[in-house]
């Protein structure tokens, strides 16, 4: 058994690395576990930028940032968490800068900031359109500098609970095969999102919600799982993201008649309305026959070649490679795609969960700063600010916690379960179930939600879970057995889908990403200004939790 660490961080994207750095700097022994190399984590795909009220482009302050975030969340965000995020964000961004993050600059040499959707000021600091890539590199440098050990190519599978607290994790060693027990005084989940629940998604293949499902299986509640954000500008059919930075720089969205159709849906904010509003508007245009092959058009041509090449060169490259379109000369075909899970592991503002010694931070967690709709640029900020807070608190708790012991029976049981799966020689291949899940989630639990479709999706997920019990893993080997890990990931995804459907059916209103145009078109603060909580007991069970309001009472929407 690996020697116990004070703090074990599972996941090495922005949240995990920032948490590990904080725990190390607080004096703990730390290890990072990741199923892929840290710099390949999905944070590296973030393009547009990171939000902090630096006030470099116009007058701005944390209070205004917090107000925009509360309003953008459709009032489902917890306001204490939002205030912490917005107050601590500027210091965190300057720290990243001091560590070497090469942000784009204003003419006076300050960090440049661009406008993003539903923001009252240009607040999104950026490094051209490769912000996530830059941050991941900088954080990894800090990990290497501190000699924090990284258990790369380890697939975390089961959290271990003993005497009412989390004592570590059981992980599959991808390089050599075999399960290993990794004990830790405190454990932080930073495993990212679950976009792979959908067929059209901006998320990488690694985004399979592992940490959410592991926490669920350990008895921890998931919060607001119905809140999957659809990003309005993704490329068909791959789902590759075209950054909101394009609209921040002034791009137009057009229907097939060349109309800037947002004038009918968000006449004030237009292309800078929040993502939920624009995704719905696009879907309505497409459904009304005013799209082109299921897309609308993102037009950058009027920005001019110089601006596109300087600030949006990555976007141009993606459009040319994946859609065969050069945005200097032609509009880019885009459509809504699954992008970000506002829901996740229920935590407090230090990343603590209901299971003692278990923490969560980043997209896996729901603290909740995004509520029913995340503003662009706030997710990266959340990974840094709440990653840091979770790392520091987990380190503090580790000092006060006894030596962790992973009971031998836990490893034996896990090995038995895995052996049963690997010994099975006949059955269905997991990818069929995964594809059916992703396609039907798109059809029945997409931009718009309808009672009959959600019920149908509930039945589909139940039958897929039944079929999953008989899946067969054809690769019986030990070394890099992706067939095995993909089967395990599918098990995670199926449970998350079941939670989403139950929470979606229970939320009988329209709020943020959860739009029910036919039966409950309005927000209903009287009954639903509260979070859904799902736990698992042979199936998903639903409960509710109040939203924490500090100073902003819900107001009528205006766009």
Ligand X SMILES: Cc1cc2nc3c(=O)[nH]c(=O)nc-3n(C[C@H](O)[C@H](O)[C@H](O)COP(=O)(O)OP(=O)(O)OC[C@H]3O[C@@H](n4cnc5c(N)ncnc54)[C@H](O)[C@@H]3O)c2cc1C
Among residues 139 and 547, whose Cβ is nearest to ligand X? 139
Does 383 help bind ligand X (rule: CB under 6 A)? yes
Among residues 82 and 529, whose Cβ is nearest to ligand X? 82
400's tokens? 């006060």
Give the whole-angstrom CA distance, residue 394 versus residue 387.
Answer: 10
- Which residues inside 389-418 make contact with ligand X, applying CB under 6 A? none
Among residues 23 and 380, whose Cβ is nearest to ligand X? 380
DSSP H or E stretch at residue 532: strand 530-536
Give the whole-angstrom CA distance, residue 470 versus residue 495.
Answer: 16
Among residues 130 and 277, whose Cβ is nearest to ligand X? 130
Region of 52-60, 102-110, 202-210, 408-416 interacting with ligand X (CB under 6 A)? 202-210
**Where does residue 382 rank: exposed (0-12), middle (13-18), buried (19+ CB within 10 A)?**
buried
Binding characters for ligand X, 206-245, by CB under 6 A (x = yes): xx--x------------------------------x----
Query: Please, are residues 361 and 188 in contact by the beta-carbon 8 Å criterion?
Result: yes
Among residues 48 and 232, whose Cβ is nearest to ligand X? 48
Does 12 help bind ligand X (rule: CB under 6 A)? yes
Residues with Cβ < 8 Å from 239, sequence gap 6 or more? Answer: 199, 200, 201, 202, 203, 337, 338
Please report how close the Cβ of residue 375 comes to ligand X at its closest, in angstroms.
8
Does 380 help bind ligand X (rule: CB under 6 A)? yes
Does 41 help bind ligand X (rule: CB under 6 A)? yes
Among 5, 22, 24, 35, binds ligand X (CB under 6 A): 35
Region of 44-52, 60-68, 319-327, 349-357 interacting with ligand X (CB under 6 A)? 44-52
388 is annotated as an active-site residue: no
Does 187 help bind ligand X (rule: CB under 6 A)? no
Give the whole-angstrom CA distance, residue 367 versus residue 124.
Answer: 21
- CA-to-CA separations, 550 to 262, 350, 373, 530, 557, in angstroms, rounded: 33, 18, 19, 14, 19
Among residues 378 and 385, whose Cβ is nearest to ligand X? 378
Does 11 help bind ligand X (rule: CB under 6 A)? yes
Does 190 help bind ligand X (rule: CB under 6 A)? yes
Q: List, as one string, the DSSP characters of 86-139.
A: HHHHHHHHHHHHHTT----B-TTSSBPEE--TT-SS--EE-STT-HHHHHHHHH
Please report how close the Cβ of residue 211 comes to ligand X at its closest, in angstroms.
6
Please report how close the Cβ of residue 4 comes to ligand X at its closest, in angstroms.
18
Does 366 help bind ligand X (rule: CB under 6 A)? no
Query: Please, are residues 333 and 235 in contact by the beta-carbon 8 Å criterion?
Result: yes
Could you give the angle at the alpha carbon of 250 between the alpha carbons of 244 and 251, nearest 5°?
70
Among residues 209 and 331, whose Cβ is nearest to ligand X? 209
Instruction: Name the residue number minimizing CB distance to ligand X.
Output: 13
Does 9 help bind ligand X (rule: CB under 6 A)? no
| Listed residue (55, 73, 77, 74) closest to 64, CA to CA | 55
- Which residues inside 513-532 make contact with ligand X, applying CB under 6 A? none
Does 13 help bind ligand X (rule: CB under 6 A)? yes
Region of 60-68, 359-367, 496-504, 508-516 interacting with ligand X (CB under 6 A)? 359-367
Task: Find the catalytic residue in 18, 247, 275, 280.
Answer: 275
Among residues 362 and 491, whose Cβ is nearest to ligand X? 362
Among 142, 315, 378, 440, binds ligand X (CB under 6 A): 378
For the chain, state the CA radius of gyration. Answer: 22
Query: Please, are residues 247 and 296 in contact by the beta-carbon 8 Å criterion?
Result: no
A 10 A CB-CB count for 403 gives 8
Query: Please, are residues 208 and 196 in contact by the beta-carbon 8 Å criterion?
Result: yes
Binding characters for ligand X, 109-138, by CB under 6 A (x = yes): ----------------------xx------
**Where does residue 479 rank: exposed (0-12), middle (13-18), buried (19+ CB within 10 A)?**
exposed
A 10 A CB-CB count for 486 gives 16
156's tokens? 């975390």
Among residues 274 and 510, whose Cβ is nearest to ligand X? 274
Among 67, 103, 140, 155, binds ligand X (CB under 6 A): 155
Does 48 help bind ligand X (rule: CB under 6 A)? yes
Q: Tokens 């090995």, residue?
A: 415
Residues with Cβ < 8 Å from 408, sequence gap 6 or more? Answer: none
Binding characters for ligand X, 239-278, by CB under 6 A (x = yes): --x-------------------------------------
| Listed residue (3, 68, 57) closest to 30, CA to CA | 3
Among residues 5 and 516, whose Cβ is nearest to ligand X? 5
Give the whole-angstrom CA distance, residue 186 versus residue 10.
Answer: 11
Among 203, 233, 395, 510, binds ligand X (CB under 6 A): 203
Q: Are strands 124-125 and 50-51 parallel, antiparallel or unpaired?
A: antiparallel
Does 69 help bind ligand X (rule: CB under 6 A)? no
Q: Give buried/exposed letters for 58-81 (b at 16+ CB in 10 A, else e).
A: eebebebbbbbbbbbbbbbbbbeb
Please report how close the Cβ of residue 261 comes to ligand X at its closest, in angstroms.
24
Please report how close the Cβ of residue 210 comes to ligand X at its closest, in angstroms.
3
Does 202 help bind ligand X (rule: CB under 6 A)? yes
Among residues 17 and 167, whose Cβ is nearest to ligand X? 17
Please report how close the Cβ of residue 450 comes to ligand X at its closest, in angstroms.
26
Please report how close the Cβ of residue 11 comes to ligand X at its closest, in angstroms.
3
Give the active site residues. 275
Residues that bind ligand X (CB under 6 A): 10-16, 33-36, 38, 41-43, 45-50, 131-132, 154-156, 190-193, 202-203, 206-207, 210, 241, 339-340, 362-364, 376-380, 383
């Amino acid at each position: 058994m690996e020697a116990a660490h004070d703090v074990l961080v599972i996941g090495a994207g922005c949240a995990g690395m920032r948490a590990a750095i904080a725990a190390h700097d607080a004096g703990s022994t730390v290890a990072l576990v990741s199923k892929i190399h840290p710099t390949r984590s999905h944070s590296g795909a973030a393009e547009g930028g990171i939000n902090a009220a630096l006030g470099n482009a116009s007058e701005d302050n944390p209070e205004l940032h917090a107000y925009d975030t509360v309003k953008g969340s459709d009032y489902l965000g917890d306001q204490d968490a939002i205030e912490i995020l917005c107050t601590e964000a500027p210091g965190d961004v300057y720290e990243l800068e001091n560590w070497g993050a090469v942000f784009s600059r204003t003419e006076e040499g300050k960090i440049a900031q661009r406008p993003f959707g539903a923001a009252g000021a240009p607040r999104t600091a950026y490094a051209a359109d490769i912000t996530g890539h830059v941050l991941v590199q900088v954080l990894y440098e800090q990990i290497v500098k501190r000699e924090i050990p990284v258990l790369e190519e380890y697939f975390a599978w089961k959290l271990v609970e003993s005497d009412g607290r989390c004592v570590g994790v059981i992980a599959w060693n991808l390089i050599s095969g075999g399960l290993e027990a990794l004990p830790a005084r405190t454990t932080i989940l930073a495993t990212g999102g679950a976009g792979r629940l959908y067929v059209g998604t901006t998320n990488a293949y690694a985004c399979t919600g592992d940490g959410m499902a592991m926490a669920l299986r350990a008895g921890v509640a998931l919060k607001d799982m119905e809140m999957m954000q659809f990003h309005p500008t993704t490329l068909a059919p791959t789902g590759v993201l075209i950054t909101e930075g394009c609209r921040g720089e002034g791009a137009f969205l057009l229907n097939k008649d060349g109309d800037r159709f947002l004038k009918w849906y968000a006449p004030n904010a237009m292309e800078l309305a929040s993502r939920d509003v624009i995704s719905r508007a696009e879907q309505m245009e497409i459904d009304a026959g005013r799209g082109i092959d299921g897309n609308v058009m993102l037009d950058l041509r009027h920005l001019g070649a110089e601006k596109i090449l300087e600030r949006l060169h990555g976007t141009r490259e993606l459009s040319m490679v994946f859609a065969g379109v050069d945005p200097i000369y032609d509009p880019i075909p885009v459509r809504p795609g699954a992008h970000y899970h506002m829901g996740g592991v229920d935590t407090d503002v230090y990343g603590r969960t209901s299971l003692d010694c278990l923490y969560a931070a980043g997209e896996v967690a729901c603290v909740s700063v995004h509520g029913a709709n995340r503003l662009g640029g706030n997710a990266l900020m959340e990974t840094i600010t709440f990653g840091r807070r979770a790392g520091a608190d987990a380190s503090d708790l580790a000092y006060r916690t006894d030596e962790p012991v992973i009971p031998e029976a836990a490893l034996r049981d896990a090995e038995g379960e895995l052996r049963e799966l690997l010994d099975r020689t006949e059955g269905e291949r997991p990818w069929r179930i995964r594809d059916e899940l992703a396609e039907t989630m798109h059809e029945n639990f997409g931009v718009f939600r309808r009672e009959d479709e959600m019920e149908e999706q509930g039945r589909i997920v139940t039958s897929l879970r039944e079929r999953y019990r008989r899946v067969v893993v054809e690769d019986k080997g030990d070394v890099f057995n992706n067939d095995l890990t993909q089967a395990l990931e599918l098990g995670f995804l199926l449970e998350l889908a079941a939670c989403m459907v139950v929470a979606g059916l229970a939320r009988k209103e329209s709020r943020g990403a959860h739009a029910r145009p036919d039966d409950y078109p309005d927000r209903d603060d009287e009954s639903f200004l509260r979070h859904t909580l799902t736990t698992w007991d042979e199936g998903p069970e639903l409960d509710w939790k109040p939203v924490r309001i500090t100073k902003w009472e819900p107001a009528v929407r205006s766009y």
